[in-house]
């Protein structure tokens, strides 16, 4: 659900805790198996970044996870499907 933004802030930069569509960002930490290099990280970043509701993706290759800034209504199933079709294994969200 969008949060109303006070009129006095509308023409300024969004506050850091708002994402681009001004919903409260929810950070999902997604654990992924199978990434071995920068190309893998880039593929995951692209696959997850293309999901509707994802405003930012940060991949941690050594930690084997990606952090997503998402709208609240992004389903875990959509995340799983995106990882799967990119050729990697979804482990868990946590």
* Span of 18-26, 31-39, 54-62, 72-80 interacting with Cu ion by CB under 5 A: 31-39
Q: Which of 11, 36, 62, 85 binds Cu ion (CB under 5 A)?
A: 36
Q: Residue 66 Cβ, how far from Cu ion at the closest point, in Å?
A: 14
Q: Which of 26, 40, 80, 81 binds Cu ion (CB under 5 A)?
A: 40
For residue 53 the two structure tokens come to: 């509701």
Our finding on whether 62 is near Cu ion (CB under 5 A) is no
SS (H, E, C) the chain: CCCCCCHHHCCCCCCCCCCCCCCCCEEEEEEEECCCCHHHHHHHHHHHHCCCCEEEEEEECCCCEEEEEECCCCCHHHHHHHHHHHCCEEEEEC
Our finding on whether 37 is near Cu ion (CB under 5 A) is yes
* Nearer Cβ to Cu ion (10/39): 39
List interacting residues with Cu ion (CB under 5 A). Answer: 36-37, 39-40
């Amino acid at each position: 659900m969008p949060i109303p933004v006070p009129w006095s802030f509308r023409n300024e930069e969004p506050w850091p805790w708002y994402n681009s569509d001004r919903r409260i960002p929810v950070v999902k930490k997604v654990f992924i198996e199978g990434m071995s290099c920068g190309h893998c990280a880039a593929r995951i970043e692209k696959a997850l970044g293309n999901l509707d509701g994802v405003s930012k993706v940060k991949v941690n290759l050594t930690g084997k996870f990606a952090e997503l800034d998402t709208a609240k209504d992004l389903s875990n199933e959509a995340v799983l499907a995106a990882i799967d079709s990119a050729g990697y294994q979804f482990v868990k969200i946590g």
